[in-house]
Structure 1
Amino acid sequence: MGSHDNYTFANQSAIPSPLDKQLPAFFKSWDDPHSKNECLNLFHPTEGQLVFGSTTTGREAIRAFRDAMIHPENGPVVDLEHTLGKCFVLAGGAGEGKQEVIVNGSLWYKLKNGRKIDVDFASNIRFVSPGEGEDLLAEFYEVYLDATELMGAIKEMNEADEH
């Protein structure tokens, strides 16, 4: 049996270019606690929105959000890894020069206290084309997952740190 690449969608060959390369690269970079934030290149610099509970707008704000959540020493999340499921390209795009996709899969989070939490996710991403021949940029990216266990574990960990 061959090993499975977590960053390859089950329907990888059906994903249009450049998303077939952009999306796996995004997840791989997002999951790397030591990354140089290459994942942020997926978002529109000033208008890109990430919705993960609350809405964060612009690359710098998204970077700050990620840094506050994922850090190899300070945590609360010190490591994580997505396993990509499928990418569904929505028919008709999202208007002129736009493309919209739904992606799903699973992921695990490792907290700084060593606890590991598994969860399934889905994301709705709307891309806009900045110009001919350029990579698409995410103007809207919403994550859907049940964060109850994750947030509860972070709260417990923080409370234990206070005592």
Structure 2
Amino acid sequence: MSDNEPPAAPSPIILRGSSGGAQLGETFYEQVGGHETFQRLVDEFYRGVADDPVLKPMYPEEDLGPAAERLRMFLEQYWGGPGTYSEQRGHPRLRMRHVPFTVNPDARDRWLHHMRVAIDTLTLPPLQDATLWAYLDRAAHAMVNTFDE
């Protein structure tokens, strides 16, 4: 691979019957409704962020649209959808990308609150709801980079 080639997109999460075995059903992305579901999730999430006095200032663009698009592409790719995020932005490197921002427990909890509200609007089946929430909860906790106010 040359220095000018973008890194390959990570493989989607696919459940298999055994190591290297046949795929067991659809990807999570397909199970929850694909692009439309992730678009609705992100749109609802950023409606909450737009009015949040702690989170909104963390977004450099006045318009939250670019941030929403990046989050949607990331989530779609993570859950087995198109690899557009990596094609356009490279490896996600979530912790590195969040270093410039003060992500303390208050910011994390606000982020999780808006995400929980957004997930609840999707009315996913219980297993998919719990699976999505567990990942987002772990990811939000992993992004905390300070305990300062």
Same fold (TM over 0.5): no
TM-score (norm 1): 0.29
TM-score (norm 2): 0.30
